Amino acid sequence: MNSLVVALANLGLVYDVTSFLDDHPGGDEALLSATAVEIMEKYFVGEVDTTTLPSEVKKNPAPQVQATTLNNESSGFILKFLQYLVPLLILGSAFALQYYGKKSKSNES
């Protein structure tokens, strides 16, 4: 037995569309068309009781989580070190590829 109930609230009106889920064509046009408004009339089950709604929605901010990181001085040092190391590695790789490329061409001749 399926106990799933799907209810939509739109402009204070509540619709039980559980039986319509399999037949729904989807898309914005289907929801906004005049035909959709007529179809929704037979699924109307009532109105939202606005007296049960909270007057103000309270948002609880997510607790702040502090990540364990190195202090600013050591992370700054690592960043500066990598800023010099990475270009040097790229340059060294380019020279190595050029050197071995020329060497292999001269061996083929």
Tally of domains within the chain: 2
Residue 77 belongs to domain spanning = 70-109
Taking the complete model, does pTM exceed 0.75, yes or no? Answer: no
Q: In degrees to the nearest 10, what's the CA dihedral of 71, 73, 75, 81?
A: -160
Residue 18, pLDDT score: 78
Does 62 fall in a domain?
A: no
More confident site: 51 or 30: 51
Residue 88, pLDDT score: 93
* Residue 79 structure tokens: 């960043």
Yes or no: say if 6 and 19 are a contact pair by the CB < 8 Å rule.
Answer: no
Does 1 fall in a domain?
A: no
Same domain, 109 and 77: yes
